[in-house]
Structure 1
Amino acid sequence: MISVKVGFIGYGSMADLLTRQFLAHADVAPKDLIIYTRSENAKLQEIHDLFPEITIAKTSLEVFEQAEHTFVCVLPLGVLPVLLENKVALSSEKHVISIAAGVSVEDLKQVTTNAQYSKLIPSLTTSVGIGTSLVNHDMAVSAANQAWLNDALGTFSTVQEVAEENIDLASDLTSSSPGFIAAIFEQFVQAAVRKSSLTEPEVFQMISNSLAGTSKLLAEQGYTFDSLIKRVATKGGITAEGVELSQDKLPAFFDELLQRTEAKYDDHHAEIKEQLKELF
């Protein structure tokens, strides 16, 4: 991969994840990274201590001016103001990648149509080399810039291009799902503790091993959820009882889960629309 300058504006947990994965797996050298954040934090200090060649910019404008690809990793309501403040630097050669939920590529283009915009929804699971990076490229993004982003992310994740109308729901399935899965199985842990003399750490170890093993069966042995159920749940057996209960109770739970997250995304989109009216 040809050496290019990569920038980050904002340096929270996801920016730190991407930075570390790019350095470890993609062909990105520390000297090619430039980072700006309004307030320095422990994550930024730690990565700079590890890689002193990384440039810490004094302004966001420095990042946009120097980087070919700039990841905007600020809160949703901070994205458009950052772009507006630096509009002068957003030329047609600049590739801007926003990771903010609720901010569409079309929203970004309200600032200026000169730059090339992509949207990225990363996932915590990619920090361990397995997981999905959701990407949506505007039509103006060059083939070379699309390839750079997809190839860089592809060194540590599965890259899936998703249409804007599906990206919120897809985010539930990738970025949010580790939290949903953890919440569901935390309840499984507590139910087992209530039902037995096993300790919480003992139960957690059993279930976490089962989750890890299930993931490997799915990833490495070609199982689907349905085929795995058929492999494990003998008709009329104990496992089949739990499967039957899940099939009875869980559809309503997941329907409501997606309804609630959709409503929250709608709130984000409404806030951005109001912000657009104020800014323009």
Structure 2
Amino acid sequence: MAIGFIGTGSMGRTLIQSFIHADKLAPEEIVVHNRTRNKAEELARNYPGLRVAADNRELVRQSSLFFLCVKPGEFRHVLEEIQDCVRSDQIAISITSPVMIRDLEEWLPAKVAKIIPSITQAVHAGHSLFIPGERLHATDREILWNLFSAISRPLVIEEDHVRIASDLASCSPAFLAHLLEKLADAAVEETNISREQALALVTQMTDGLGRLLTEGGFTLKSLQERVAVPGGITRKGLDLLDTGVGSVFHDLIRLTHAKYAEDVQQVKTALLTEKERNH
């Protein structure tokens, strides 16, 4: 039986490519379907042997486990389409954080898990966030753990913590990339350095920073202490950042949580049955 991917957008495609490049899945083991068919067919051209299903129902019938890589607003349509094809021995994995496991278990007879990936899995790094459903057996957990261990460090979290964990593991690469781009832009505006050089400097610095933290024995705190000698330029810069950053990260977390709560409610409303709607 194959492993299916419903949705081959940005993250669905990243997972497929990462599993293949890590030699964890062969293209022949993968079946995909996407609402925009040419995206799925492009993957099949790039990875000969990968199959494109005619529809989501065919994909589910061919899969022992399948990923739901669709946007929150698309879930009801997809679940209605596949509901009567899903078997109790299958594993259904959602990568969409606002969709609650309890709701998925009410819609599908399958064993359910929620696993939130990160763009860092494209280079087989970072954490994937693992929230197992109640129906998963120990062997099911082991299958999923081994699968994601090939491209990440899986981390079991509580579903209540999925938003903040996603902020730190999945959103922060974009947040930090934005801050680094702003730093490079400021360097260009304040001096005569070229933007190309400024971006190259912060990009290579980021590569070294990651290695220092993962391989070099540094923590975030000890690295600051090592670089920022008392009275030095870096120390003055850190003091300015302490003053200037203020509550921005608190505001950021409040914003992401407010948006998440809104998305959760919208999904829950969309997944209500007719009976529940009438009550």
Shorter-chain TM-score range: over 0.9
SS at match of 1:119: strand
Unaligned runs of 5+ in 1: none
Structure 1: which amino acid aligns with 2:74?
A: G
- Tell me the CA shift for residue 250 of structure 1: 2.5
Task: Give, in whole Å, the separation in 2 of the partners of 1:63 and 1:146.
Answer: 22
CA contact 1:96–1:118 (8 Å) conserved in 2: yes
Q: Does 1:265 align with 2:257?
A: no
Is the aligned partner of 1:102 residue 2:98?
yes
- Does 2:24 correspond to 1:9? no
Task: Give 1:205's aligned amino acid.
Answer: A
Pick aligned residue for 1:242 from 233, 237, 244: 237
Find 1:36's aligned residue among 20, 33, 36.
33
**What residue number does 1:188 align with?**
183
> Is contact 2:64-2:91 (8 Å) kept?
yes
Distance in structure 1 (CA, Å) of the matches to 2:75 and 2:246: 36
Cα distance, 1:160 vs. partner?
0.8
1:237, distance to aligned residue in structure 2 (A):
0.9
**In 2, Cα distance between equivalents of 1:251 and 1:166:** 24
Q: TM-score, normalised by structure 1?
A: 0.93
Q: 1:85 offset after TM fit, Å?
A: 2.0
Which residue number in structure 1 is paired with residue 144 of structure 2?
149
Shift of 1:26: 4.4
Q: Compute the displacement of 1:37 (Å).
A: 1.4
Measured after TM superposition, the shift of residue 249 of structure 1 is 3.0
CA distance in structure 1 between the partners assigned to 2:83 and 2:42 by the alignment = 31
Aligned: 1:225 with 2:220 = yes
Residue among 28, 33, 41 paired with 1:45: 41
Matched, 1:174 2:172: no
Q: Deviations over 1:209-268 (max 9, x none)?
A: 111111110011121010001100001111001111222332411000101111110110
Bigger shift: 201-210 or 243-252?
243-252
* Mapped pair 1:85 → 2:81: yes
Say yes or no: does 1:69 pair with 2:65: yes
Question: In the TM superposition, what whole-angstrom CA distance separates every residue of 1:186-223 from its partner, at most 9, and x where no partner exists?
Answer: 11111111110111111111111111111110011121
Matched, 1:128 2:123: yes
3-state DSSP of counterpart to 1:28: coil
Match status 1:21 vs 2:18? yes
TM-score (norm 2): 0.94
Supply the AA of the counterpart residue of 1:122.
P
Distance 1:140 1:260 in 2: 33
Structure 2 distance, partners of 1:83, 1:73, is 12
Structure 2 contact 33–55 (Cα < 8 Å) conserved: yes
Deviation at 1:278, TM superposition (A): 5.6
Q: Kindly indicate whether residue 54 of structure 2 is the aligned counterpart of residue 58 of structure 1.
A: yes
The residue type paired with residue 239 of structure 1 is: T
Q: 2:133 corresponds to which residue?
A: 138
Q: SS where residue 107 of structure 2 aligns?
A: coil
**CA distance, structure 2, for counterparts of residue 98 and residue 216 of structure 1:** 31
Cα drift, residue 165 of structure 1: 0.3
Answer whether contact 2:97 2:114 (CA < 8 A) is retained. Answer: no
CA distance in 1, matches of 2:153, 2:55: 33
Match of 1:254 in 2: 249
Equivalents in 2 of 1:35, 1:240: separation in Å? 52
Asked whether the 8 Å contact 1:80–1:108 carries over to 2, the reply is: no
RMSD between aligned residues: 1.5
